[in-house]
Amino acid sequence: MNFKKTILCIGAGYVGGPTMAMIAYKCPQYKVTVVDINPERIALWNSDDLPIYEPGLDEIVKTVRGRNLFFNTDIEKGIKESEIIFVSVNTPTKTYGTGAGMAADLQYWEKTARQIRESAESHKIVVEKSTLPVKTALAMERILTSMNNGIRFDVLSNPEFLAEGSAVKDLEDPDRILIGSRETPDGLKARDELVEIYANWVSGERIITSNIWSSELSKLVSNAFLAQRISSINSISALCEKTDANITEVSRAVGMDSRVGNKFLNAGIGFGGSCFKKDILNLVYICRFQGLDEVADYWEGVVKINDYQKERFILNMLGAMFNTLAGKKICLFGFAFKANTGDTRESPAILIAGRLVEEKADLIITDPQALKNAMIALSDINGQINYVEDPYDAAAGCDAIAVMTEWDMYAGLDFEKIYKSMTKPAFIFDGRNILDHEKLFEIGFNVYPTGKPALTHF
Ligand code: NAD
Ligand code: UGA
């Protein structure tokens, strides 16, 4: 079959896989190939057991795989054959050298740029899909053109805004698609080519364009703003616990102001996920590098409050359970960093589990999707940890349940049955405020919500 465009994506992760599956699904006239250096990941993308869990993704991949979506490890061939190359490799926080713990580690990114330069035999549009520090496109351009071989490369920024757990919906019906380009005739032409792809299913007013630096920076700032709302509400949850105010009521009252809006105001155990912390720290690093210490301090506060919220959760548990957790059995309901994903990267549950083990508690962890990743995330921790799929089996014989992830299924469990199976006094720490606290209290539990008065029988 003759395809109208050939598209390559380098990096078959949480972003590359679903994003390209959506493009292939919406645009049968394009050939879309996703490549990765990790052969196991590619094998999973070609199997019935996809490497990531996202509601709705299996169906889309099944429809388009082998039709106009292909997964393989031949990066060189992919580069040669494609006109448009998305780069969606990981950009984690640097763990070594200058900027360790703050700056983005661009080694995977740079390797990809060099590989494109070495394999390309004709004009390419290279699209930054990964989240990157502002001005990365300049470095990309310099690497790509350093061979002086007459091949033209146009670099665009097209950050991804999908959230895990709702990736398919976010990709199908995005709030906006942002495309940044050089404002030269070539840059604008390349930008229009990318606009044309998204215009297959996204309405024109939702496809916005900007200069390339604004686009790169907008991605970091979007994540910083979202995380800032969570830290804001979490900071107030601490004050609620001291003053008998109720964080759900405060958040409803504040969020009903249409200037504020009601989303992302759920207090909890702190934000997790692979991106919020790394992107804010990257923003902080860039601000410091530019001599803007006050700005850097302001954004760093968002991460500090997030760490404080996790620590507070542990201290609350310890205080409520008579200042000792040694030998007590604690069941963690959920381990994913949020519901509807199996991803545990930077999940608050990792730190909380580690701290509970330090207190010599025995842990039983249950999660409908994330147990495999939980085992990997906690493999370095030396302690008594069991992984149990069924939440009823997991809770039986425990002293306490701590809700780590807001899976819908937890609210629908039979807590009478769970209470009967637990050691008394039985405690519930609802780190996500998803349970019916009054009802749990009536059943006999001592209930500790987040940002609300505790309900106890003592
Ligand atoms: P990921 O770790 O799931 O996937 C990255 C993939 O790139 C891996 O499979 C890795 O093997 C591959 N890779 C690394 N170097 C490579 C190379 N030289 N050649 C080929 N493949 C290579 O990461 P992710 O979660 O998909 O994130 C990718 C980027 O997108 C990051 O910059 C992230 O900040 C950004 N982002 C992520 C999300 C999200 O929800 N996870 C959302 C928006 C943006
Ligand atoms: C986030 C952004 O929402 C995406 O737009 C962005 O593309 C992505 O980061 C990225 O760049 O990686 P994601 O981390 O997948 O998406 O999930 P979110 O829904 O943002 O949740 C992040 C964390 O905040 C989770 O731990 C969640 O439980 C927590 N959260 C969220 C709260 O504690 N309270 C809320 O009100 C909302």
**389 has pLDDT over 80:** yes
Query: Does 184 contact ligand 1 (Cβ within 6 A)?
Result: no
147 confidence band (pLDDT: 50, 70, 90) = confident
The conformational region for residue 235 under phi > 0 = left, psi -120 to 50 = alpha, else beta, is alpha
Q: In this predicted model, what pLDDT tens digit does every residue of 47-65 receive, in sequence order?
A: 999 999 999 999 999 999 9
pLDDT tens string 198-244: 999 999 999 999 999 999 999 999 999 999 999 999 999 999 999 99
Give ∠ CA 58-59-63 in degrees, rounded to 5. 115
**Average pLDDT across the chain, whole number:** 97
Give the number of whichever ligand sits closest to the CA of residue 88: 1
Determine whether the shortest distance from the Cβ of 108 to ligand 1 is under 6 A: yes
Q: Tell me if 64 CB under 6 Å of ligand 1.
A: no
Residue 331 dihedral angles phi and psi, to the nearest 5°: -100, 125
Taking the alpha carbons at both ends of the chain, their separation in whole angstroms is 73
Q: Could you report the per-residue pLDDT of 286-306, keeping only the tens digit for each?
A: 999 999 999 999 999 999 999
Over 80: is that where the pLDDT of 19 sits?
yes
d(CA 300, CA 19): 30
What pLDDT score was predicted for residue 101? 96
Ligand 2 atom at minimum distance from 274 CA: 12
Calpha distance 46→458 (Å, rounded) = 56
Q: Which residues contact 441 (CB under 8 A, 6 or more apart)?
A: 447, 455, 457
Answer yes or no: are the C-beta atoms of 6 and 31 closer than 8 Å: yes
Distance CA 341, CA 163 (A): 10
pLDDT of residue 149: 84
Residue nearest to atom 28 of ligand 2 (CA): 338
What is the reported pTM?
0.96
Q: Best substitution site from 15, 33, 91, 280 to test ligand 1's pocket, by max atoms within 8 Å of Cβ?
A: 15
Query: Measured between alpha carbons, how far is 245 from 452 in angstroms, rounded to an integer?
Result: 6
SS3 339: coil
Nearest to 93 by CA among 256, 259, 276, 249: 276
Q: Please check whether residue 398 is in contact with residue 327, taking contact to mean a CB–CB distance below 8 angstroms.
A: no
Ligand 2: centre distance to CA 271 (Å):
7
Distances (CA, A) of 372 to 330, 379, 408, 418: 19, 11, 20, 24
Place of tokens 């394009």: 30
275 counts as catalytic: yes
